C-alpha cells in the first residue's frame, strides 16, 4: 500500500483494498465494484450487477476512461474478464492511449482476459436498402463474452451508432433488445452516450435513455467561470431499486485513471460526545479550559499573523506525540524545513517525531490540490496512522483559493468527520487586523468550533504584548480573563491576567482608575 | 484473369428477415450470373460470429459485394442495378 503521507497523486486510482467485486447494498440488488477510486463510495458499493448502466457526458468528460477503468479493475482486482465495444476509435489506438494510464490491454488480450468488439466504422461503402435488425452486432457481443468468459462489458459510445442508420427509432428498439439480452446473460454493462453540451436537458442524444433507463450516470465537464478552471464531475442520476448518493461529485483524470472525490458528508447522526479532556500542551491553558480540550473537539485559534498560532498548534502536537497520541499537521503556509527549524528553536524534536511516525507532517501549497483531494488525503492519513490530534495551519490559506460554499462544505465536512473519529482538532485562522479585533474569524466559522481561542497583540504602556483569551469553550467552564502570552525558548507559556487594565480587546490598554492589585 | 468477386450474405435463422433475405439473395446471384465471375457464401452470424466481427457487420441482413455493402432487407433488382453501374 502507498504511504498515506504521500500525495494521493501517487496512489492508484484503482481501489486495491476490496476483497471481492460484489457488494450487497442496502437493498437486495447486488452491486459490482467499478474499482474507480471514490466512485463506489458514492454509488453505495458499485453499479447494479447484471444490468446496463448508461454513462452520459460531453466530449472529453472521461467516459471512455471510466468505462475502460471499470474493465481493467475487473481484470486486475476482481478476476472478472471484460469486453470493450468500440464504436469510434480502432482497437490499436485505444491500446496505445490506455498505456498512458499504465493499462496494458495487449497483455490482457494475450492472456485471454479481455476482448474487443471493433464496431468502429467500416471502410466499405454502405447502402441501406431496407428493414434490418442488429442481430450481427448482438452475435458479436455474445461471441466476445463467451470467448473470454466476460462478466463486464463496456460499450463506447452508443451515440456513434445512430448516424449510421436512417431509422433511429429502430436503433433504439434494437438496443433495447440487446440490453435485455445482456441482462439475461447476467453481464454488467456500462454504455456510454454523448451529450452535446452541458446545458442540454436530455441525458443523451437520440433518446438513448429510453433503452437503458434503469441506471444513469452523468459526467460533467465545464468551465468554472470564477476560477477559470476546467472542472469535471460525476453524478448518479438514478439506480433503479438501489441507493446511491445524489450529489454532483468532483472527478479528476490523472495519470493512473479517474479519481472521484466524494464530498464531505456532514451528519450529526451517531455522533458521540466525549467527556474526556486532553492537554493543550500548555499548563496554564489547560487550567483556563478546566482541564484542556475535549478529545473530540474542534478548536479555532484566531489571530493576526506572527502572533503565535503555529507555535500553539505545534506545542499541542508535540505534547500529544510525547504521550503516544499520533498527530497529523497540515501546513499550508510553511515548508517542512521551516517547521522543523521553528520547532527546534523551542527544543522540540519534531524531525524525530516525524521519523518515528508519531507525527505526520504534510506541507502543501493549497493550490496543489482541490478541496476534495485535501479532504480525502486527510481522511486517508487519519485512518492509516491512527491520528488522535489534528492541526490545519491555516484555514485562511484554503479560504483564499476556494469558493465560499466549497470552503464551508470542506471545513464542516472535515470537522464532522474528525469528531466522529474522536480526533482533537486545532484549526488556525489568520485575521488581518493587527490590534483591533472586530471579528474572531473572517471565515465566519466560529459557530462550528467547540472552542474559540483568540490570540492578539495588545499595547500596554507603549509596549506590544501578546494576549490570549478563551472566547468560547462549549460544554465547559473556562477562564474569561485575557492572559499575557509569552513565547520563549521553551515555547508558549501564559502569564496572569492583565489585571488593572481595560480595553485590551480594543488593542490599546487603559489602566483602570483606582484599581488595586489584590495580591 | 481477375479474382472472382466475393459475395457474402450475413444473416441468421433467428432474424425475422431471414427467409426474405435468402430468397432475394438467390435472385441476386441468378441475375449476376454472366455479368462477372463471383464466389458466394451465406453466413449465419450465430454460427460464425467471428466472420461478422472480421467484416464489421452490425445489421442483418447485410450483403457484401467486394467493397460495397447493402444493409437491410434486399431487393435483388436494385442491387443488380447498383452493381452493374458501379463495375
What is the tens place of the pLDDT at every residue in A277-329?
999 999 999 999 999 999 999 999 999 888 999 999 999 999 999 999 999 99
Phi, psi of B77 (to 5 degrees): -60, -45
pLDDT value at residue A444: 61
Residue A144, C-beta contacts closer than 8 angstroms, at least 6 positions apart: A83, A85, A115, A116, A117, A150, B53
Mean pLDDT comparison of A41-50, A65-74, A466-475, highest-scoring range: A65-74
Give the pairing of strands A298-303 and A327-331: unpaired
Task: Measure in Å the smallest separation between the Cα of A58 and chain B Cα atoms.
Answer: 25
Q: Is A142 on the interface with B (CB under 8 A)?
A: yes
> What are the distances in angstroms from CA A209 to CA A54, A176, A191, B14, B59?
7, 10, 10, 27, 22
pLDDT at A392: 93
Band (A58; pLDDT cuts 50, 70, 90): confident
B40 or A29, which is more confident: B40
DSSP characters over A434-482: SS--S-S-TT--GGG-SEEEEEEEEEETTEEEEEEEEEEETTS----S-
Residues 54 to 83 of B: which have CB under 8 A from any A CB? 55-62, 64, 67-75, 78-79, 82
Contact call for A136 and B12, based on CB within 8 A: yes
CB neighbour class for A186 (10 Å; exposed up to 12, middle 13-18, buried from 19)? exposed
Domains A33-122+136-260 and A277-455 share a fold: yes
> Which DSSP category does A160 fall into?
G
Chain B residues touching residue A162 (CB < 8 angstroms)? none
CA-nearest of A58, A64, A401, A378 to A221 is A58
Which residues lie below 8 Å from residue A285, measured CB to CB, with a gap of 6+? A292, A453, A468, A492, A494
Above 50 in pLDDT, residue B16?
A: yes
Per-residue pLDDT for A512 more than 80?
no
How far apart CA A157 and CA A141 sit, in angstroms, is: 14
Average pLDDT over residues A429-433: 80
Q: What is the pLDDT of residue A9?
A: 33
Q: Give the percent of chain A with pLDDT over 90.
A: 49
Residue A137 forms contact with B (CB below 8 Å): yes
Closest chain A CA to residue B71: A128
Q: What is the pLDDT of residue A349?
A: 93
Q: Is the confidence at residue A406, as pLDDT, over 80?
A: no
Model confidence, pTM: 0.72
pLDDT band at A60 (very low <50, low <70, confident <90, very high): confident
Among residues A31, A417, A34, the alpha carbon closest in space to that of A259 is found at A34
Per-residue model confidence (pLDDT) at position A496: 80
Chain B interface, mutation test: which of A91, A129, A147, most B Cβ atoms within 10 Å? A129
Instruction: Give chain B positions within 8 Å (CB) of A161.
Output: 58
Q: Mean pLDDT lowest for which of A198-212, A244-258, A491-505, B63-77? A: A198-212
Band the pLDDT of B50: cuts 50, 70, 90. very high
Grid coordinates standing for A430? 489568520
Residue A492 and residue A469: Cα distance in Å, rounded?
A: 14
Instruction: Report whether pLDDT(A88) > 60.
Output: yes
Taking CB atoms and an 8 Å limit, are A131 and B17 in contact across chains?
yes
pLDDT at B25 over 90: yes
Q: Residue B60 is nearest to which of A126, A135, A142, comparing CB atoms?
A: A135
Using alpha carbons, select from B16, B9, B82 the residue that is nearest to residue B42.
B9
Query: If you search the block for the grid coordinates 438513448, which residue do you land on?
Result: A208
Looking at A72-81, A99-108, A495-504, which range is the least confident one?
A495-504
**Inter-chain CB proximity A139 and B52 less than 8 Å:** yes
The answer on pLDDT for A11 being more than 50 is no
Distance CA A64, CA A451 (A): 48
Tell me which residues of chain A, numbers 41 to 100, contact chain B at a CB-CB cutoff of 8 Å.
Answer: none
Question: What ranges do the domains of chain B cover?
Answer: 5-86
Looking at residue A7, its pLDDT comes to 33
| pLDDT level of residue A209 (50, 70, 90 thresholds) | low
Of the pLDDT bands very low, low, confident and very high (cuts 50, 70, 90), residue A15 is: low
Q: Do B62 and A136 touch (CB under 8 A)?
A: yes
For A490, the grid coordinates are 521553551
C-alpha cell at A438: 472586530
**Is pLDDT of A216 > 60?**
yes
Residues A330-338 have a mean pLDDT of 91
Say which CATH topology domain A277-455 has.
Rossmann fold (3.40.50)
Closest CA to A124 of B84, B58, B24, B56: B56
pLDDT mean across residues, chain A: 85
Chain B residues closer than 8 Å to A122 by CB: 55-56, 69
What single DSSP character describes residue A44? T
For A467-495, what is each residue's pLDDT tens digit?
999 999 888 888 888 899 999 999 999 98
Q: Are strands A424-430 and A298-303 parallel, antiparallel or unpaired?
A: parallel
pLDDT computed for residue A518 by the predictor: 61
Task: Provide the CA A381 distance to its chain's centre, in angstroms.
Answer: 12
The three-state secondary structure class of A125 is strand
Looking at residue A416, what is its pLDDT? 82
**Cβ distance of A136 and B78 shorter than 8 Å:** no
Work out the pLDDT band at B78, boundaries 50, 70, 90. confident
Residue pLDDT, tens place only, A243-274: 888 888 888 888 889 988 887 766 666 667 78
Task: Specify which of A71-85, A120-134, A322-336, A443-457 reaches the highest per-range mean pLDDT.
Answer: A71-85
CATH code assigned to B5-86? 3.40.30.10
Lowest mean pLDDT among A1-10, A46-55, A169-178, A390-399: A1-10
Question: What amino acid positions of A are annotated as catalytic residues?
Answer: 88, 333
CATH architecture under which domain A33-122+136-260 falls: 3-Layer(aba) Sandwich (3.40)
Asked if the model's pLDDT at residue A95 lies above 50, the reply is yes
Phi-psi region of A38 (alpha: psi -120 to 50; beta: other; left: phi over 0): left
The pLDDT assigned to A205 comes to 65
Identify which has the larger pLDDT, A3 or A388: A388
Query: Cell numbers of A220, please?
Result: 460533467
State whether the Cα torsion A118-A120-A126-A132 is positive or negative: positive
Whether A235 shows a pLDDT value over 60: the answer reads yes
What pLDDT does B1 receive? 52
Q: Is B55 helix (H, G, I), strand (E, B) or coil?
A: coil
A499 confidence band (pLDDT: 50, 70, 90): confident
**Cis peptide leading into A157, omega within 30 of 0?**
yes
A5 has a pLDDT exceeding 60: no
pLDDT at site A10: 34
User: Which of A229, A90, A87 has its CA nearest to residue A159?
Assistant: A87
Amino acid at each position: 500500500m502507498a504511504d498515506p503521507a504521500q500525495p494521493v497523486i501517487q496512489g492508484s486510482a484503482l481501489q486495491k483494498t476490496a476483497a471481492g467485486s460484489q457488494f450487497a447494498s442496502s437493498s437486495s440488488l447486488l452491486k459490482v465494484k467499478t474499482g474507480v477510486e471514490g466512485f463506489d463510495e458514492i454509488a453505495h458499493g458499485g453499479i447494479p450487477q447484471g444490468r446496463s448502466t448508461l454513462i452520459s457526458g460531453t466530449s472529453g468528460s472521461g467516459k471512455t476512461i471510466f468505462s475502460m477503468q471499470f474493465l481493467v479493475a475487473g481484470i486486475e482486482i476482481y478476476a472478472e474478464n471484460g469486453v470493450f465495444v468500440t464504436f469510434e476509435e480502432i482497437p490499436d489506438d485505444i491500446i496505445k492511449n490506455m498505456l498512458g494510464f499504465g493499462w496494458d490491454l495487449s497483455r490482457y488480450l494475450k492472456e485471454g482476459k479481455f476482448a474487443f468488439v471493433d464496431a468502429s466504422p467500416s471502410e466499405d461503402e454502405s447502402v441501406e436498402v431496407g428493414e434490418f435488425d442488429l442481430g450481427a452486432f448482438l452475435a458479436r457481443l455474445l461471441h466476445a463474452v463467451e470467448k473470454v468468459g466476460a462478466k463486464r462489458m463496456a460499450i463506447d459510445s452508443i451515440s456513434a451508432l445512430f448516424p449510421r442508420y436512417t431509422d433511429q427509432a429502430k436503433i433504439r428498439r434494437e438496443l433495447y433488445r440487446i440490453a435485455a439480452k445482456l441482462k439475461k446473460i447476467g453481464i454488467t454493462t456500462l454504455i456510454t452516450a454523448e451529450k452535446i453540451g452541458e446545458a442540454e436537458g436530455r441525458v443523451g442524444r437520440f433518446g438513448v435513455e429510453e433503452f437503458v433507463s434503469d441506471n444513469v450516470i452523468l459526467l460533467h465537464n465545464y468551465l468554472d467561470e470564477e476560477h477559470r478552471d476546467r472542472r469535471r464531475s460525476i453524478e448518479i442520476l438514478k439506480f433503479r431499486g438501489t441507493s446511491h448518493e445524489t450529489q454532483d461529485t468532483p472527478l479528476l483524470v490523472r495519470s493512473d485513471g479517474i479519481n472521484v472525490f466524494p464530498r464531505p458528508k456532514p451528519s450529526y447522526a451517531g455522533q458521540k460526545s466525549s467527556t474526556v479532556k486532553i492537554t493543550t500542551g500548555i499548563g496554564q491553558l489547560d487550567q483556563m479550559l478546566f482541564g484542556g480540550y475535549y478529545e473530540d473537539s474542534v478548536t479555532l485559534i484566531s489571530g493576526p499573523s506572527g502572533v503565535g498560532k503555529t507555535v500553539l498548534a505545534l506545542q499541542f502536537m508535540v505534547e500529544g506525540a510525547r504521550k503516544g497520541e499520533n498527530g497529523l499537521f497540515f501546513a499550508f503556509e510553511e515548508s517542512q524545513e521551516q517547521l522543523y527549524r521553528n520547532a527546534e528553536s523551542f527544543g522540540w524534536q519534531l524531525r524525530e517525531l516525524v521519523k518515528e511516525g508519531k507525527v505526520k507532517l504534510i506541507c502543501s501549497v493549497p493550490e496543489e490540490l482541490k478541496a476534495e483531494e485535501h479532504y480525502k488525503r486527510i481522511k486517508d492519513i487519519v485512518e492509516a496512522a491512527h491520528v488522535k490530534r489534528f492541526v490545519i495551519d491555516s484555514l485562511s490559506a484554503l479560504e483564499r483559493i476556494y469558493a465560499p460554499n466549497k470552503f464551508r462544505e470542506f471545513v464542516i465536512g472535515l470537522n464532522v468527520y474528525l469528531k466522529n473519529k474522536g480526533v482533537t482538532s486545532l484549526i488556525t485562522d489568520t485575521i488581518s487586523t493587527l490590534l483591533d479585533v472586530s471579528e474572531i474569524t473572517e471565515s465566519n466559522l466560529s459557530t462550528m468550533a467547540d472552542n474559540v481561542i483568540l490570540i492578539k497583540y495588545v499595547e500596554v504602556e507603549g509596549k506590544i504584548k501578546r494576549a490570549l483569551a478563551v472566547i468560547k469553550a462549549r460544554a465547559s467552564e473556562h477562564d474569561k480573563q485575557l492572559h499575557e502570552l509569552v513565547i520563549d525558548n521553551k515555547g508558549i507559556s501564559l502569564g496572569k491576567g492583565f489585571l488593572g487594565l481595560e480595553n485590551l480587546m480594543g488593542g490599546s490598554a487603559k489602566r483602570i482608575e483606582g484599581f488595586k492589585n489584590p495580591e | 484473369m481477375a479474382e472472382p468477386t466475393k459475395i457474402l450474405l450475413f444473416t441468421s435463422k433467428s432474424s425475422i428477415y431471414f427467409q426474405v433475405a435468402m430468397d432475394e439473395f438467390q435472385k441476386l446471384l441468378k441475375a449476376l450470373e454472366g455479368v462477372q465471375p463471383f464466389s458466394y457464401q451465406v453466413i449465419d452470424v450465430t454460427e460464425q460470429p467471428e466472420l461478422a466481427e472480421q467484416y464489421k457487420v452490425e445489421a442483418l441482413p447485410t450483403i457484401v459485394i467486394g467493397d460495397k455493402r447493402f444493409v437491410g432487407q434486399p431487393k435483388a433488382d436494385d442491387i443488380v442495378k447498383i452493381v452493374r453501374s458501379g463495375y
